[in-house]
Amino acid sequence: MSAKRVFIKGNEAIGQGALAAGCRCYFGYPITPQNDIPEMLSSAMPAAGGQFVQAESEVAAANMLLGAAACGVRAMTTSSSPGVSLMQEAISYMAGSELPGVIVNMNRGGPGLGDIGPSQGDYFQSVKGGGHGDYRTLTLAPATCQECYDLTFTAFELAYKYRNPVLILGDAIVGQMKEPVTPREPLPIDPAEGGDWKLTGRGERAPRLLKSLFLEDGALAGQNRLLQKKYEAMRAEVLYEDFETAAADLVVVAYGSIGRIAKTAVRALRDAGLKIGLLRPITLYPFPEEALRALAAAGKRFLTIEHNLGQMVDDVRLAVRGLADSDFYGVFPGNLPTPDEFVEPIRAAAKGA
Amino acid sequence: MSSIPEIKEELVFDRPKVLADVPSHYCPGCQHGVIHRMVAECLEEFGLVEKTIAVSSIGCSVFLYNYILVDTVEAPHGRAPAVATGVKRARTDAFVFAYQGDGDLASIGLAEIMHAANRGERISVVFVNNTVYGMTGGQMAPTTMIGQKTTTCPAGRCAEREGGPMRMAELIASLDGVAYSARVAVNSIKNMAQAKRALRRTFETQIKGEGFGFVEFLATCPTNWRVSPVAANERVAKEMIPGFPLGVYKDAAKED
Amino acid sequence: MSRIVIDEERCKGCLLCAQVCPKAIIAASSRFNAKGYKVAEVLEAEKEKCTGCAACAQMCPDVAIKVWRSVKSKAKEND
Ligand SMILES: Cc1ncc(C[n+]2csc(CCOP(=O)(O)OP(=O)(O)O)c2C)c(N)n1
Ligand code: SF4
Ligand code: SF4
Ligand code: SF4
Ligand SMILES: [Mg+2]
């Protein structure tokens, strides 16, 4: 049984998804375009018996997340690009200390203060580590309000499954858009979660330690080897939407809001008789490289569309290397793309070669 | 029956059990060790060992967890009060303390300490002020005294160029959320007794839910001060205490 | 008689114990421990002066000193 459909913004869907997924600590700092999340959670979180803290900065918010995560309590912070830059310190420490937590980035235009409009300029920051050191964060990219809700659930599940920070990378489009969302039954909080590592006070057992400092000879190598194994295992979590790629000559690759807009353009062009499909990565890390490689092996060509000057296209090219290449079409920030804007670039790519 | 007077002896000083019986990595005469011992004693005296979560910071005391045998999470440099906030919010029943050096707390972590204090987080902060960045080799800290030579102010700290030493116990005391703020030293038996009382009171404010508790320990760093441990300890009385007056700057229990 | 025992393997020879001892009965020995520190000791000729005040132990950053204090008790008083 699931609750009644609600008509909410993507931002709210994340907040509600988090509550239903058992999130009981929220830490944040105001920044457009994600303020709906802290605003709703400032009352909803205490009402659910949880804790809401407006931190003094994103640096502090992310470190509060680290602290709550160390206790094995489901916790989240949300922000947008400049704020997420400030969170990279804690995210790196969380990855190093193997702490689970959810970090939401409603990507806005950059670099610097940029603008407050939608952008995918933080792709590299999200999937290539972002902070210092050799680590990865699982990254989920919702394209609809329902996905905002559902992927928040997934994010918490994955965070605890892998003891790793998980990013939700949205943008100002999906955050601000209102759509019907079907909520789920709230997850009962499992008191056994994190049972063998979380800090509770030592009680009668041996003290536990969560740290990222490994100074002894060979210790860091050992830890990083462990992490590497974990990142390998995460490959099993790949999610993507495949829209009519089987019969396509050209596969458009786009994620998040842009993936959704591109899909409308692809659909229109298919109706006009062009052999086009779309692959929309839902997990950006792990990247659906095997799916792309299989398409390349089947002789498809690729066009990557992004709301930036070309970031994910590197990963597409890596995935299909030796078999194919990818064209690229980039949308500049400050520009809300429509499906029409993608029609010509797709048509041109379909003609090319 | 006549009683025969008999000389017995009683063990009057031993290490607290929660303080690991291992050699420390600290330099000879470094007072981090004394402060660790006092923290360990207070945890035991209040019966807190089982429910404590410690937050260690970045500095020479990063290995706190090797010595105080309680659940511990390591915070990034300066962020211990934010991490401790997250811990306490997630586990409101736990006893949560952070242990921070002066570079960690008064420089890179200034925002985090001030705001955790101002929010009145129910946490306790043990602040060790040795007027230098010990771990990185004795560079100037925000607490370095005017005229004090360090590796990055070799001619001595200059007020015009680098400002003056920050007096954290006073600054913290000015914030509404703070239940207790004091400065103590461990350079003499008399001061140590006061220090112990202050540390107990710092912990007590959390136990009683009164607010944020803060205690600043003046401590030596003989290695980076480039003097003997004995001379370093003498400097505490001669130079540090006059510049960093000892005392209780705020105690909610003594107000209204 | 009160007495102290210095764990020589823990002692780092800082002499803060000697500095604080009200009876001035602690000093550097001529021994070095395994880590190469010249350890402190109670002067043999003065050891009776120890009052068991524990000042040295409190001062020791390495918690290397244990203190025993003599207590006069009347044995079998309650028999
Ligand atoms: C972000 C960051 N910057 C710099 C450092 C290097 N660092 C390690 S410890 C330290 C200073 C520690 O000094 P203090 O807090 O006074 O502690 P002490 O060693 O004196 O006890 C610094 C700057 C770091 N670890 N992280
Ligand atoms: S460098 Fe200074 S603070 Fe660090 S252990 Fe040595 S004496 Fe102590
Ligand atoms: S117990 Fe007191 S008198 Fe005895 S050695 Fe230690 S400081 Fe000196
Ligand atoms: S204070 Fe401790 S470490 Fe220092 S000399 Fe005395 S016994 Fe040794
Ligand atoms: Mg210092």
- Tell me which chain C residues have a C-beta less than 8 angstroms from the C-beta of B28: 12-14, 37, 61
Q: Whose CA is nearest to atom 1 of ligand 2?
A: B134
- Give the residue numbers spanning the domain of B162: 32-255
Residue B141 falls inside a structural domain: yes
Nearest to A132 by CA among A93, A159, A101: A93
Taking residue B10's Cβ as centre, other Cβ atoms within 10 Å add up to 12
**Which among C3, C55, C71 has the least Cβ separation from residue B8?**
C71
Q: Does B207 touch chain A (CB under 8 A)?
A: no
Q: Provide the whole-model pTM.
A: 0.96
Residue B256 binned pLDDT confidence (cut-offs 50, 70, 90): low
Residue B10 falls inside a structural domain: no
Q: Does B34 touch chain C (CB under 8 A)?
A: yes
Q: Whose CA is nearest to atom 7 of ligand 3?
A: C21
Residue B104 falls inside a structural domain: yes
Judge: B71–A199 Cβ closer than 8 Å, yes or no. yes
**Which among B13, B19, B37 has the least Cβ separation from residue C54?**
B13
Nearest to A39 by CA among A48, A30, A47: A30
**Taking a C-beta distance cutoff of 8 angstroms, is the pair B74, B62 a contact?**
yes
The arithmetic mean of pLDDT across residues B125-145, rounded, is 98
- Residue B156 tokens read as 């001595």
Q: What's the A76 CA to ligand 3 centre distance in angstroms? A: 54
ipTM metric:
0.96
How far is residue B76's CA from residue B62's CA, in Å, rounded to a whole number?
10
**Where along chain A do its domains lie?**
6-201+224-236, 240-351
Q: What's the C41 CA to ligand 4 centre distance in angstroms? A: 9
Judge: B74–A27 Cβ closer than 8 Å, yes or no. no
Interface test mutation site (partner C, options B2, B7, B9, max chain C beta carbons within 10 A)? B9
Q: Among the bound ligands, name the one nearest to the CA of residue B62.
A: 1
The pLDDT value given to residue B57: 98
Q: Is the CB of C60 under 6 A from ligand 4?
A: yes
At A85, which amino acid appears? S
SS3 C7: coil
Judge: B230–C19 Cβ closer than 8 Å, yes or no. yes
Distance from CA of B158 to the nearest CA of A (A): 31
Q: What's the B33 CA to ligand 2 centre distance in angstroms? A: 10
Q: CATH number of the domain at A6-201+224-236, please? A: 3.40.50.970
pLDDT digits (tens, 9 = 90+) for C20-58: 999 999 999 999 999 999 999 999 999 999 999 999 999
Q: Is the pLDDT of residue B1 over 60?
A: no
Torsion sign, CA atoms B14, B17, B18, B22: positive
Furthest CA-CA distance within chain C? 53
**Taking a C-beta distance cutoff of 8 angstroms, is the pair A263, A243 a contact?**
yes
Judge: B230–C15 Cβ closer than 8 Å, yes or no. yes
pLDDT digits (tens, 9 = 90+) for B4-34: 656 789 999 999 999 999 999 999 999 999 9
Q: Check which CATH number belongs to the domain holding B165 and give it.
A: 3.40.50.970
Q: Is the pLDDT of residue C78 over 50?
A: no
The arithmetic mean of pLDDT across residues B51-69, rounded, is 98
The pLDDT value given to residue A130: 94
Q: Does A331 touch chain B (CB under 8 A)?
A: no
The arithmetic mean of pLDDT across residues B115-127, rounded, is 98
Torsion sign, CA atoms A29, A123, A93, A97: positive
pLDDT digits (tens, 9 = 90+) for B141-182: 999 999 999 999 999 999 999 999 999 999 999 999 999 999
Class for the domain spanning A240-351: alpha beta
**Where along chain C do its domains lie?**
3-71
Nearest to B122 by CA among B91, B166, B153: B91
Helix (H) or strand (E) holding A294: helix A289-297
Distance from CA of A43 to the nearest CA of B (A): 16
Chains with ≥3 CB–CB distances under 8 Å to C: B
Distance from CA of C45 to the nearest CA of B (A): 21
Which pLDDT tens digits describe chain A residue by residue (353 residues)?
A: 456 899 999 999 999 999 999 999 999 999 999 999 999 999 999 999 999 999 999 999 999 999 999 999 999 999 999 999 999 999 999 999 999 999 999 999 999 999 999 999 999 999 998 999 999 999 999 999 999 999 999 999 999 999 999 999 999 999 999 999 999 999 888 889 999 999 999 999 999 999 999 999 999 999 999 999 999 999 999 999 999 999 999 999 999 999 999 999 999 999 999 999 999 999 999 999 999 999 999 999 999 999 999 999 999 999 999 999 999 999 999 888 999 999 999 999 999 75
Q: What is the DSSP letter of A118?
A: B
A221-A226-A229-A234 Cα dihedral, nearest 10 degrees: -130
Angle made by CA atoms B43, B49, B55, in degrees to the nearest 5: 80
Q: Does B122 touch chain A (CB under 8 A)?
A: no
**Which among A63, A64, A208 has the least Cβ separation from residue B71?**
A208
Number of domains in chain B: 1
Judge: B24–C2 Cβ closer than 8 Å, yes or no. no
Which residues have CB under 6 Å of ligand 1?
B 58-61, 77, 101-104, 128, 130, 132-136, 141
Residues with CB under 5 A from ligand 5 (ion): B 101-102, 130, 134
Residue B19 falls inside a structural domain: no
Atom nearest to C55 CA in ligand 3:
7
Distance from CA of B20 to the nearest CA of C (A): 10
Q: What's the A87 CA to ligand 2 centre distance in angstroms? A: 30
**Closest residue in chain B to residue A26, using alpha carbons only:** B86
- Tell me which chain A residues have a C-beta less than 8 angstroms from the C-beta of B85: 53, 60, 64, 67
Q: Is the CB of B141 under 6 A from ligand 2?
A: no
Dihedrals φ, ψ of A42, to 5°?
Answer: -60, -30
The pLDDT value given to residue B253: 87
Residue C79 binned pLDDT confidence (cut-offs 50, 70, 90): very low
The pLDDT value given to residue B6: 67
The pLDDT value given to residue A253: 98
Q: CATH number of the domain at C3-71, please? A: 3.30.70.20
- Tell me which chain B residues have a C-beta less than 8 angstroms from the C-beta of A208: 71-72
Distance from CA of C39 to the nearest CA of B (A): 11
Torsion sign, CA atoms A18, A20, A26, A32: positive
Q: Is the pLDDT of residue C74 over 70?
A: no
**Taking a C-beta distance cutoff of 8 angstroms, is the pair B112, A63 a contact?**
yes
Q: What is the DSSP letter of B79?
A: -
**Closest residue in chain B to residue C34, using alpha carbons only:** B23
Per-chain mean pLDDT for chain B: 96
The pLDDT value given to residue A189: 83
Query: Strand runs (DSSP E) across chain A, as ranges?
Result: 6-9, 25-28, 51-54, 75-79, 101-107, 138-140, 165-171, 178-181, 209-210, 240-243, 250-253, 276-281, 283-285, 301-306, 326-330
Q: Is the CB of C67 under 6 A from ligand 4?
A: no
